[in-house]
Structure 1
Amino acid sequence: MRVLDDTGGGIEDHVDRLRAQWARQLPDLDTEPMAILGRAKRISNLVGPSIEKTFAAFGLDRGEFDVIATLRRSGAPYQLTPTDMYTTLMLSSGGLTHRLHRLEKAGLIERTKSNRDGRSVVVGLTQLGITLAEDAFRADMRSEQTYLQGLDREEREALAMLLRKLALSLETRSVVEVLEEQ
């Protein structure tokens, strides 16, 4: 590894090495997207196993946690329709149904008839589900906080702002692309 500089470049990372290889092979190609998107993917891959391990300690996989977390953050009475849930979670209805079945079997959620429409169902957290969602989320945030220790508060805020800006531009682009396809 080589030191790039002490103004934030730090030590050469995996993405720097990949970009250098591509620069030698295709010197006319701008690999700047790798500097951002490649690192975002690499970071996600590096922390993913730890996140999975955190949820596994609570008897959950990441997808199951996503379901109970979606219900918990929706606020009291911690209930949503399956349609609201799979739209929010970007899942197929079949994928959600499978997760709901496992969570119901574990006593974390219950499905009941809607008060507004007797033909539809709402999914709600049980007290055990509320407690587990909160405990797992707190443990996840403690774990994830340790990964940010290499950045001071100002750097974390600046990075969060830039990532938000990029995410918003990509979300807007996705909506436009969907509308253009229609």
Structure 2
Amino acid sequence: MPAHDEVDRIVDAWLRERPDLDFAPLQVLSRVARLSKHLDRARRAAFGESGLEPWEFDVLSALRRAGSPYQLSPKALLQQTLVSSGTMTNRIDRLVERQLVERRTDPHDGRGILVSMTALGRERVDAAIATLLVAERELLDALSPADQDRLAGLLRKLSLDFDAPDVD
């Protein structure tokens, strides 16, 4: 394993040019950003094998995680996918066109709508998550299970503030 990665080279160059600055944040966050790009590529490939776009996987996986009968309100989907109402409406429309979801009237509220995953949607999301997990395991191969647990804990600690619900 090389003693220095690309981030080390970048930080060393900055330190040479600007020794007056503390580049410690780059040591962590530049690596997170670079890893994010590798993860994005792996996810796009995994989803592509199942005929899905990343945004389609996001919506379908929210429905799948909801459990049988695999349906949620558009508002619940908004909360899980962090997109605007207009974007979600567009996404649902496109998923309906592809026969991956259906819109149904909420039986508990005749004015409400539920988005329900079709059998084809379930088949696609199940295949995508299985492929994704193989790809993600490969990305983490360099770390022992203990290191993976430690890293997951540190990233959780860092992300807690970002994941906190917005209070209006």
* Runs ≥4 residues deviating over 6 A: none
Q: Which residue of 1 aligns with 2:29?
A: 37
Give the distance between the partners of 1:88 and 1:47, measured in 2 at CA.
20
Q: Which residue of 2 aligns with 1:163?
A: 155
Q: Name the CA shift for 1:82/1:170 in 2 (closer, same or farther; >3 Å).
A: closer
| C-alpha deviation, 1:167, in angstroms | 1.0
1:69 maps to a residue whose letter is S
How many percent identity over aligned positions? 36
Give the distance between the partners of 2:103 and 2:115, measured in 1 at CA.
5
Q: Which residue of 2 aligns with 1:6?
A: none
Long gaps (5+) in structure 2: none
- Counterparts of 1:1-182 in structure 2, within 5 Å, are 11-172=3-164, 179=167
Whether the 8 Å contact between 2:47 and 2:57 is mirrored in structure 1 is yes
Normalized against structure 1, the TM-score is what? 0.86
Give the distance between the partners of 2:128 and 2:95, measured in 1 at CA.
15
Aligned residues: 168
Give the distance between the partners of 2:16 and 2:136, measured in 1 at CA.
36
1:11 is paired with a residue of what secondary structure?
Answer: coil
Instruction: Provide the alpha-carbon RMSD of the alignment.
Output: 1.6
Encode CA deviations 1:140-166: one digit per residue, 9 max, x unaligned.
111111111101111111111111111
Greater CA deviation, 162-171 or 72-81? 162-171
Long gaps (5+) in structure 1: 4-9
Encode CA deviations 1:94-151: one digit per residue, 9 max, x unaligned.
1112211121111111001101111110001111211211111111111111111101
| C-alpha deviation, 1:47, in angstroms | 2.5
1:146 maps to a residue whose letter is E
Give the distance between the partners of 2:39 and 2:57, measured in 1 at CA.
16
Answer 1 or 2: higher relative contact order, Cα 8 Å, separation at least 6: 2
Normalized against structure 2, the TM-score is what? 0.93
Give the distance between the partners of 2:38 and 2:147, measured in 1 at CA.
20
Q: Name the CA shift for 1:29/1:170 in 2 (closer, same or farther; >3 Å).
A: farther
1:51 maps to a residue whose letter is R
